[in-house]
Amino acid sequence: MSHDIDAAPVGTPPSRRATIRRASERGHYDRDTLHAIVDAAWLCHVAFTDTRGHDESGEPFAVCLPTACWRIGEALYIHGSNGSPMMRRLASGVNACVTVTHLDGLVLARSAFSHSMNYRSVVAYGRFTVVPDADKPAALDAFMARLLPGREHEARPADDSELKATLVLSMPLEEASAKVRNWGPRDKDQDGDHPAWAGVLPLATTRLAPVPDERSRATGQPLPPSVRAWLDADPGPAPFSS
């Protein structure tokens, strides 16, 4: 993910609204970058327009909610209860915007103005469609495997009534762009002599020691293969080039 800030964006914008306009040197449109950012996330923010629940004139307003997500091939998946207003609204085929963001560091420059953040983000526009009943078990298995590889072999799979209560939606990752900032501060030349220390304060998502529930603790149940592999596979912080 190292990136030359003077280089042109990688790949081609798929549409006008998915074109990066601000800080376009941070833009990426290639599949590898998009997929890596989505695959590093357990959740996304889904935005869509609504009018219900608004006290005024029926002017549309945007709703933005966090939800778990996973990728299969070129599509992003979410799931939820059949009764969820968000899921029902998205299942109706309204325009949606899905955003995935990782904050990788605070960037301290010599001037307040040049402070920044290192991050990786993906913004995808599109419409969700309902995953048919026949494809639901495989899609939900892929979610388990994405949440925690191997967990799909340990947990009791969903039964018919649970599958029936669950809506699975997918959206193509076609109209999407990524933005990556992964370098140090870029002060203006005239600030070089200002005495403030400058650099990056990196942030990382750390995997802490698993906490068993009451029954697993009481029986002294050993950690399963999925959890042991998860602890071993901690990817550490995202790299950056100062």
Stretch that binds its own copies, among 4-12, 25-33, 69-77, 102-110 (CB under 8 A): 102-110
Q: Burial, 73: exposed, middle or buried (Cβ in 10 Å; 0-12, 13-18, 19+)? A: exposed
Residue 169 β-bridge partners: 78, 130
Among 53, 58, 132, 235, contact with its own copies (rule: CB under 8 A): 53
Question: Distance (Å, rounded) from C-alpha 111 to C-alpha 194?
Answer: 8
57 binds its own copies (CB under 8 A): no
Stretch that binds its own copies, among 2-10, 26-34, 70-78, 193-201 (CB under 8 A): 193-201
Q: Which residues, numbered 18-47, are part of the site for its own copies (CB under 8 A)?
A: 19, 21-22, 42-43, 45-47
Q: In 3D, which of 122, 121, 120, 118 has the Cα closest to residue 242?
A: 118
Burial class (CB in 10 A: 0-12, 13-18, 19+), 79: buried
* Near its own copies by CB under 8 A: residue from 28, 110, 136, 181: 110
Among positive and negative, which fits the CA dihedral 207, 213, 218, 223? negative
Q: How far is the CB of 188 from its own copies (least distance, A)?
A: 10
Q: Is 45 exposed, middle or buried (0-12, 13-18, 19+ CB in 10 A)?
A: middle
Shortest Å, Cβ 92 to its own copies: 13
Q: Which of these segments, 3-11, 32-40, 69-77, 200-208, binds its own copies (CB under 8 A)?
A: 200-208
* Residues of span 64-93 touching its own copies by CB under 8 A: 64-66, 68, 80-81, 83-86
DSSP 66-84: EEE-EEETTEEEEEEETT-
Candidates 2, 156, 189, 235; binder of its own copies (CB under 8 A) is 156
Least separation in angstroms between CB 35 and its own copies: 19
Query: Contact between 145 and its own copies (CB under 8 A)?
Result: no
Could you give the CA distance from residue 146 to residue 142 in angstroms, rounded to a whole number? Answer: 6
CB of residue 137 vs its own copies: minimum separation in angstroms?
A: 10
One of 91, 96, 167, 171 touching its own copies (CB under 8 A): 96
Residue with tokens 């899609």: 139
Q: Minimum Å distance from CB 216 to its own copies?
A: 5
Could you say whether residue 184 binds its own copies (CB under 8 A)?
Answer: yes
DSSP label of 102: E
- The CB-of-127 to its own copies minimum distance in angstroms stands at 10
